Structure 1
Amino acid sequence: MSNRIRVAVGGVTGWAGGELARGVAHADDMTLVAGLSRGAAGQTLAELTAHKGTPGVAVASIDELAEGAFDVYVEYTRPDVAKRNILQALAKGAHVVVGTSGLSDEDYAEIDAAAHQAGRGVLACGNFAITVVLLQKFAEMAARHLEHWEIIDYAKAGKVDVPSGTVRELAYRLGQVREAAQVVPVDQVKGPKETRGATLSGSQVHAVRLPGYQLGVEVIFGADGQRLHLKHEAGDGSKPYVSGALLAIRKVHTVTGLVRGLDKVMEGL
Structure 2
Amino acid sequence: MSLRITLAGATGWVGKALVAAIAASDDLELAGAVSRSAAGQDAGEAAGLPHLGVTISATLEEALKAPSHVVIDYTKPNVVKAHALTALAHGRNVVVGTSGLSAEEYAEIDAVALKAQRGVLAAGNFSITATLLRRFALEAARFVPDVEVIDYASAKKPDTPSGTARELAELLSDVRQPATSKAVDELAGVRETRGGALGAREPVQVHSLRMPSFVLSCEAVFGADNERLVIRHDAGSSAAPYVTGTLLAARRVSSFIGLKRGLDAVMD
With normalisation by structure 2, the TM-score equals 0.95
Correspondence for 2:210: 209
1:65 Cα offset (Å): 2.8
Counterpart residue identity of residue 95, structure 1:
N
CA contact (8 A) 1:67 1:93 kept: no
1:175 Cα offset (Å): 1.8
Correspondence for 1:125: 123
CA contact (8 A) 1:179 1:203 kept: no
Choose 217-226 or 39-48, whichever is displaced more: 39-48
Matched, 1:187 2:170: no
1:147 Cα offset (Å): 0.3
C-alpha distance in 2 between matches for 1:179 and 1:88: 39
C-alpha distance in 1 between matches for 2:180 and 2:40: 54
CA contact (8 A) 2:6 2:64 kept: no
Q: What pairs up with 1:92-107 in 2 under 5 angstroms?
A: 92-107=90-105
Q: Tell me, what secondary structure is at the counterpart of 2:91?
A: coil
CA contact (8 A) 1:31 1:54 kept: no
CA contact (8 A) 2:218 2:233 kept: yes
C-alpha distance in 1 between matches for 2:61 and 2:177: 40
C-alpha distance in 1 between matches for 2:59 and 2:95: 17
C-alpha distance in 1 between matches for 2:224 and 2:218: 20
Counterpart residue identity of residue 230, structure 1:
I
Choose 167-176 or 114-123, whichever is displaced more: 167-176
Q: Tell me, what secondary structure is at the counterpart of 1:245?
A: helix
C-alpha distance in 2 between matches for 1:51 and 1:195: 46
Q: What pairs up with 1:30-49 in 2 under 5 angstroms?
A: 30-49=28-47
Counterpart residue identity of residue 226, structure 2:
G
Instruction: Name structure 2 gaps, 5 residues minimum.
Output: none
Counterpart residue identity of residue 7, structure 1:
I
Residue-by-residue CA offset, 1:132-180 (whole Å, 9 max, x unaligned): 1111010010000000010000000011100111111111211221355
Q: What pairs up with 1:165-180 in 2 under 5 angstroms?
A: 165-178=163-176, 180=178
Correspondence for 1:258: 259
C-alpha distance in 2 between matches for 1:11 and 1:73: 11
Correspondence for 1:249: 250
Q: Tell me, what secondary structure is at the counterpart of 2:129?
A: helix
Correspondence for 1:233: 234
1:49 Cα offset (Å): 4.0
CA contact (8 A) 2:20 2:44 kept: no
With normalisation by structure 1, the TM-score equals 0.95
Counterpart residue identity of residue 242, structure 2:
Y
Give the direction of change, closer, same or farther, for the CA distance of 1:179–1:89 in structure 2 (3 Å limit): farther
1:66 Cα offset (Å): 3.6
C-alpha distance in 1 between matches for 2:14 and 2:101: 17
1:70 Cα offset (Å): 1.2
Counterpart residue identity of residue 218, structure 2:
V
C-alpha distance in 2 between matches for 1:139 and 1:239: 24
CA contact (8 A) 2:19 2:44 kept: no
Q: Give the number of equivalent residue pairs.
A: 265
Instruction: Name structure 1 gaps, 5 residues minimum.
Output: none
Counterpart residue identity of residue 8, structure 1:
T
CA contact (8 A) 1:68 1:92 kept: no
Choose 219-228 or 128-137, whichever is displaced more: 128-137
C-alpha distance in 1 between matches for 2:66 and 2:57: 16
1:25 Cα offset (Å): 1.6
C-alpha distance in 1 between matches for 2:180 and 2:35: 45
CA contact (8 A) 2:153 2:214 kept: yes
Counterpart residue identity of residue 204, structure 2:
S
Counterpart residue identity of residue 35, structure 1:
A
Give the direction of change, closer, same or farther, for the CA distance of 1:80–1:179 in structure 2 (3 Å limit): farther
CA RMSD of aligned residues (A): 1.3
Matched, 1:139 2:137: yes
Correspondence for 1:55: 53
Counterpart residue identity of residue 41, structure 1:
A
Counterpart residue identity of residue 44, structure 2:
A
1:45 Cα offset (Å): 1.9
Q: Percent identity?
A: 48
Residue-by-residue CA offset, 1:110-149 (whole Å, 9 max, x unaligned): 1000100110000001111111111101001000000001
